[in-house]
Amino acid sequence: MAVKSKSDARARRHARLRKKVVGTEARPRLVVTRSARHVFVQLVDDSKGHTVASASTLETDLRAFDGDKTAKARKVGELVAERAKAAGVEDVVFDRGGNRYAGRVAAIAEGAREGGLNL
C-alpha cells in the first residue's frame, strides 16, 4: 500500500514505534517533537503519566544562541541531559516520534549522549 503523503508516513512510523517504546520510572522515554522552526524534548514516565524534564528551542537562553536549527537541537539535547541528571535519570529510551533519525533528531540524540545520558 502506497503512502499518500509525508505526514501519513510519519504517522505510520510513529504508531509502529509507540507499540514498542515504553518509558518507565527507571528508564523514561525521551520524546522528540519537531516543528518547522523549533524542537521540543520531554522525558516522560509512562507508568505515572508525567513529565520528568523538558527543554525546547523556545527557551530564552536558546533563543539568544546563534546557530542553525541543527546546532540549536544539539544544545537542546545537552540541556535536557543536564536536567535529567538533576532529576536522577541516567538511562532513557529514545522516542523519535516517527521522524527519521537524521538532521535535528540525530543532533538531539548526540547532544543528550554528550550530556551523559545513555540512549
Q: Is residue 106 within 8 Å of 77, Cβ to Cβ? A: no
Fold of 6-114: Nucleotidyltransferase; domain 5 (3.30.420)
Distance of CA 59 to the CA centre of its chain: 15
Sequence spans of domains, the chain:
6-114
Ramachandran class of 116: left when φ > 0, alpha when ψ lies in -120 to 50, beta otherwise = left
52-97 pLDDT, tens digit per residue, is 999 999 998 888 888 899 999 999 999 999 999 999 999 999 988 8
User: pLDDT value at position 99?
Assistant: 87
Report CA torsion sign: 38, 92, 47, 99: positive
- Residue 1 pLDDT greater than 70, yes or no: no
2-36 pLDDT, tens digit per residue, is 768 888 887 787 777 776 777 777 889 999 999 99
Give the global pTM: 0.83
Report CA torsion sign: 110, 111, 114, 116: negative
Q: Provide the 3-class DSSP secondary structure of residue 119.
A: coil
Work out the burial of residue 14: count CB atoms within 10 Å of its CB; fewer than 13 is exposed, 13-18 middle, 19 or more buried.
middle
Cell numbers for 54: 523538558
User: pLDDT value at position 17?
Assistant: 75
